Each structure stands twice: as C-alpha cells, then as structure tokens.
Amino acid sequence: MTDRVIRAGIRVAVAALVCVAATTPTARADNSRLNNGVVANVYTVQHQAGCTTRIKKSPALTLAAQWQAVDILNNRNLDGDIGSDSSTPQSRAMAAGFAGAVAETVAINPALAINNLDVINQWYFNPAYLAIMSDCANTAIGVWSENSLDRSVVVAVYGRP
C-alpha cells in the first residue's frame, strides 16, 4: 500500500468517527433518586410538624424547579429565588402551568455530588426554609437537581393548589 492510500483511509476513518461523535446524544445524569429522596424528606418534615395531608409531586412545579436549577447551575452569581431573567418562583410556576401560590428552597453544593441528607440539612437549619417545608398548606411539590463537575444545585418548588 502506498502512503497516499493509507492517508486516505485514515481520513475516512477520522471522518466516520467525527460523524458518530456528532450524532451521539450526550448522557445526562438521572437524578430521580435524589429528587424523590428530597420529596420523601419534605413529607417527613411536614408530618413531624403535625401535617396530616400527603404532599404530591406536580409536573408543573417540577418544570419550574428545573428551570431555576439549570439557571443557577449556569449562572454562578445566582444563589436563590430570582432567575437570571428576573423571574420569581411564582412567575416560573405560572409559566409552567401552576395557578396556586408557591414558595421555593434552593440548595447549592460546591461539588459534583449532593445527596438528600446534604439538602435537608441545608434547609432544615435555615428558619425560612424550614417554615416553607413544614407548612401544611403546601400540598404540591416539584424537585429538580442539576450537576456540573464543581457544583450541584437542588431546587424545590412548593405549591398551594
């Protein structure tokens, strides 16, 4: 084989690899176990506070939580309720299709990983967040978490349908 044929073969192989890499979907972490753990912990906090209702997951509130978690992960100057577009928990919930009043809690961990105990410890020892979690009128919830190599964000949006 000549060098020209070998080089042509290498170019074809490289082009094929580039095409495969360009069309392969990127993998995303499945944080459903973490998100469900946070919902379970909030349920426990509510029942310790004397609530008798059962908090239920809301797709609309989950979407609102997702929007804020992604925004906080991608905008390092954010650390709470206000989005980079000046949105609020209420405006995001309304845009997602939830008509009731809402409140929000945010946990940020400066690491790749976060677990539901890290989250609940951040929120339980914050008096404002504890009041939100233990409010029996909050019967709907949406939780979303996002991770990067050096930051994890968990957002919970609580609703009163």
Q: Is residue 62 part of a domain?
A: yes
Average pLDDT of the segment spanning 35-57: 96
| Structural domain boundaries enclosing 91 | 30-160
Summarize pLDDT for 66-120 with one digit per residue, the tens: 999 999 999 998 888 999 999 999 999 999 999 999 999 999 999 888 888 889 9
CATH code of the domain covering residue 143: 3.40.33.10
Looking at per-residue confidence, does 8 or 60 come out higher? 60
Q: Is residue 23 part of a domain?
A: no
Which of 8-12, 73-77, 142-146 has the weakest average pLDDT? 8-12
Is residue 74 a contact partner of residue 65, using CB atoms and an 8 Å limit?
Answer: no
Q: Is residue 124 part of a domain?
A: yes
Looking at per-residue confidence, does 114 or 35 come out higher? 35
The number of folded domains in the chain is 1
Q: Is residue 16 part of a domain?
A: no
The predicted pLDDT at position 116 comes to 86
Q: Which residue has the tokens 């979907």?
A: 25
| Among candidate residues 123, 100, 149, the one with its CA nearest the CA of residue 37 | 123
The predicted pLDDT at position 29 comes to 59
The predicted pLDDT at position 139 comes to 97
Q: Is residue 102 part of a domain?
A: yes
Q: Is residue 136 part of a domain?
A: yes
